[in-house]
A and B are shown apart, each in its own frame.
Chain A
Amino acid sequence: MPKTDKRASIHSAIAQKGNTFLRIMNFARPYTKDLARILLFMLIATGFSLLVPYISKIFIDDVFKPDHDTLQFSHAAWFMPAIGVMFFAYAIQIFSSGFFQWLSGKTGHKTVHDIRVLVFSKLQTLSLSYFDKHTTGGLLSRVNQDTDDVQFLIVEFLPLAIQSFLMLAGVGVFLCVLSVNLTVFVALPVVILVFFGRKMVKNALSHFNTYFSQRSRLSEFAADSLTGIRVVKAFGQEHRQIEMFRDYSANFRDTGITVMKMWSIFHPLMQFFIMSGTVLVWAVGGRLIFAKTMTLGTVVAYGGYLAMFFSPLLTLVNMLRNISTSLSAAQRVFSVLDESPKIRDAADAVAMQAFAGTIEFRNVEFGYAFDKPVIKNLSLKIFPKEKIGLIGKSGAGKSTIINLLCRLYDVDKGVITIDGVDIRHIRTQDIRKNIGIVLQDTFLFNGTIFDNIAYAKPDATREDVVDAAMAAHAHEFICKKRDAYDSLVGERGVALSGGEKQRIAIARALLLNPAILILDEALSSVDTETECKIQDALENLTKNRTTIAIAHRLSTLQTYDRLFVIENGQCIEFGTPDELFNKKGAFYTMVTMNRKNTHGNAGTFGEGIFS
């Protein structure tokens, strides 16, 4: 990159970080009263800390200095009051500092809590397409690690920065009051420090950015690997994961070493300039004492103030690394907050409390990537309480049809209607409330069996849940668990078989009592014996509601009213199972293939299509 471009990009990064900082500060707005209190206590602490070196000057120049002629301590009476003032100055400074640190910590934690909840809430509202493009590890990192990093900015950096600036301003005034001449000399290393510091800071920032991006990638990779640990183990890919982690970590290590190298040059240089200032005070101040134009007390006090001047500067520089992390983290947090959900209710969205269950796809086209259509000019109509099967090869577009119907994605072309209303004009909450889904892999949250069944209907009564479990043929196995409906399931809970999980999912769907039911390969992960038990439960579930089932096992669709054969995102055949079989088209081929696989002969229609 040319030098000017690089400089421009660093400037732009800094400007961006400045904006980010201001945006973070906006989050502290609800706590302005607390912020005002923090500022007040900071002023008190800084003000009283400035008194101490001046009292030292009084001690040296007045209290402990004998009178030139009488050799008596003419200001001895000031001794105890000065001690008292020094004691109170220290005490007030220490307690005020403690108080503002507590207040700023409290405010910071409140602000970060707000941000964390906002990020999580935002993620909940984003469309599935957003999650398709981001890793789970990365998103976990946004919610946990990045918000924690932002916390540093608000809880630690901000109060310290304000206090440091107050201190710098206050000390600057005292330095000038004590000696303008000395201040001019001391200003020299400060100017050099600021000049070199700025250059180095800009340079360091670009390295810090790389460092923290790599850290983020490393933790995203680790989170992803651990989330998918079962898959890793199932495919024996532990070694590959370790190698990949080693590569990520090695990059992170190398950048870390570069950053440390820069830091180990930068930090001693800063300290060198600070030390030069102190030496200058004594060098110049000493000459002034010899020339009797300055008192010893003034030089001692000056030295004290100078230490107070450089100390916040050094603290701020030391914080540079963390500030950069926090600002980068904040930028990532804002990238989530700035995302707008692709699926949102239209302004004229209608409330539809209960669906009758008529579904129509008219010339629908859709692709997850704009140049790769998955659904092509699909048209189909499903009538209320009809039981429909979607069949076809893997990747034909069956699950996409379901995703579109649930409005997890919006169509690219065409329209999907429910009861004659375009689903883009129906409130999303009504769609979710009226469509129940039983998936192939039932996800159970950490919680009790009761919590999991009642998940879609939190206001369900105990009777409702037990009734749903009974209808799903889950009640009997639940009663055999030691804690029955209070049994914990999920990661920390009791192990449930695939069939048991599936019956809990059916109970969950039954409890919702949806007008439209979707069974997405609901029986493909269970054995034939369990399938029989679940079939019974499904009979109860599909009664009196529009049902759409996706199934590879054709036998599960034998009682369905109509079947749609999907191929390459299009419906190539539809009709009753008998009609389709007699047509001797794609469906016929699938059935005969299915039979060959299970019985070794093609059989005849008279034996029953699915037998």
Chain B
Amino acid sequence: MKMLNAEEFCIQKSSDNKLSLVYKTGKAYADVFFVPLFPHSMPRQYISIRFPTENNGEEEIGILHNLETLSSFEQKLAFETIEQRNPLAVITEILSIKMRGDTDHWHVETNKGQIHFIGERRYETIVLMKSGLVLVTDNQLNRYKIPNYYTLPQKQRILLEKVLS
């Protein structure tokens, strides 16, 4: 595993909003992007920094152990690209879940405001992970996460249980 040392490079944003990684030695990679290797269990650690290659391929420059070793500006850039590549709204409150036919109609409060969405009732639509994280995918393939099933208020947990089979 090639680990990257944040002191040896910097992340820059070009005029066309693309990121590049430039080593102090002068070596540079254009159009880089960040892939958290453990996006749910360790979102800020083990970040693979990659660049595109020919034929829609991609290559890893190395792995950054901790995103916080970057400057705050670089961290912001990294988060933006991660969010763009894999948007995931955080559900802060389940307001209602109504079961209609083979679909579930969700009304939730998220970090991006109140959202209504529809999910198909298939077992891969809602997944409860060992850590308590719940991932919900709607029928437009947008994803939402409930950070911890076990700390949900009782009323919301009962609502979720109805569809978490």
- Taking Cβ atoms with an 8 Å cutoff, the residues of A that contact B are 447-448, 450-451, 462-463, 466-467, 470, 475-476, 478-480, 482-486, 488, 492-493
Contact = CB atoms under 8 A, between A and B. Distances in A.
B86 to A, nearest CB: 6
Contact of A479 (B37, B42, B127): B37
Given A447-B130, A448-B129, A462-B46, A492 B124 contact: yes
A467 B1 contact: yes
A484 B129 contact: no
Interface string B28-54: 000000011111111001101010000
A410 B46 CA distance: 45
Given A447-B130, A451-B130, A463-B1, A483 B123 contact: no
B60 interface: yes
A470 B1 contact: yes
A466 B127 contact: no
Nearest to A471: B1
Contacts of A488: 127, 129, 135
Top 10 nearest A-B pairs (CB, nearest first) are A486-B40, A484-B37, A485-B37, A467-B1, A479-B35, A486-B38, A466-B1, A485-B38, A483-B39, A486-B39
B40 A466 contact: no
A425 B80 CA distance: 59
A462 B38 contact: yes
Contact of B86 (A470, A475, A482): A482
Contacts of A492: 123-124, 127
A313 B66 CA distance: 71
Contact of A484 (B39, B58, B130): B39
A12 to B, nearest CB: 44
A483 B60 contact: no
- State the majority secondary structure of interface residues on A: helix
B38 A450 contact: yes
B42 A462 contact: yes
A480 B123 CA distance: 23
A541 B132 CA distance: 34
Nearest to B85: A482
Interface string B88-109: 0000000000000000000000
B49 to A, nearest CB: 11
A466 B46 contact: yes
Contacts of B39: 483-484, 486
B63 interface: yes
A479 B41 contact: no
A513 to B, nearest CB: 16
B37 to A, nearest CB: 5
Contacts of B130: 447, 451
B40 A483 contact: yes
A476 to B, nearest CB: 8
Contacts of B143: 482
A540 to B, nearest CB: 14
A216 to B, nearest CB: 25
B64 to A, nearest CB: 13
A467 B3 CA distance: 11
Contact of A462 (B35, B37, B86, B135): B37
Contacts of B123: 492
A358 B36 CA distance: 42
A466 B129 contact: no
Interface in B50-71: 50, 58, 60, 63
A479 B86 CA distance: 13
B55 to A, nearest CB: 14
B29 to A, nearest CB: 16
B149 to A, nearest CB: 15
A462 B45 CA distance: 10
12 contacts: A450-B38, A451-B130, A462-B37, A466-B37, A479-B37, A479-B50, A479-B60, A484-B48, A485-B37, A486-B41, A486-B129, A488-B127
Contacts of B48: 479, 484
A486 B86 CA distance: 13
A466 B42 CA distance: 14
B41 to A, nearest CB: 6
A463 B63 CA distance: 10
A180 to B, nearest CB: 57
Nearest to B133: A486
Contacts of B86: 482
A533 to B, nearest CB: 14
Contacts of A476: 60
A480 B124 CA distance: 19
B155 to A, nearest CB: 24
B133 to A, nearest CB: 9
A449 B140 CA distance: 25
A466 B63 contact: yes
A466 B36 CA distance: 12
Contacts of A483: 39-40
Given A478-B37, A484-B48, A486-B38, 8 more contacts: A462-B45, A476-B60, A484-B35, A484-B36, A484-B38, A486-B40, A486-B129, A492-B127
Contacts of B40: 483, 486
Contacts of A462: 37-38, 42, 45-46
A492 B126 CA distance: 9
Contacts of B38: 450, 462, 484-486
A481 to B, nearest CB: 10
- Which of A451, A462, A466, A486 neighbours the largest number of chain B CB atoms within 10 Å of its CB? A486
Contacts of A451: 130
Contacts of B127: 488, 492-493
B117 to A, nearest CB: 18
A145 B67 CA distance: 49
A8 to B, nearest CB: 49
Contacts of B50: 479
A488 B50 CA distance: 23
Nearest to B45: A462
A238 B38 CA distance: 42
Contacts of B37: 462, 466, 478-479, 484-485
Contacts of A478: 37
A463 to B, nearest CB: 6
Contacts of B58: 479-480
A466 B47 CA distance: 12
A482 B58 CA distance: 15
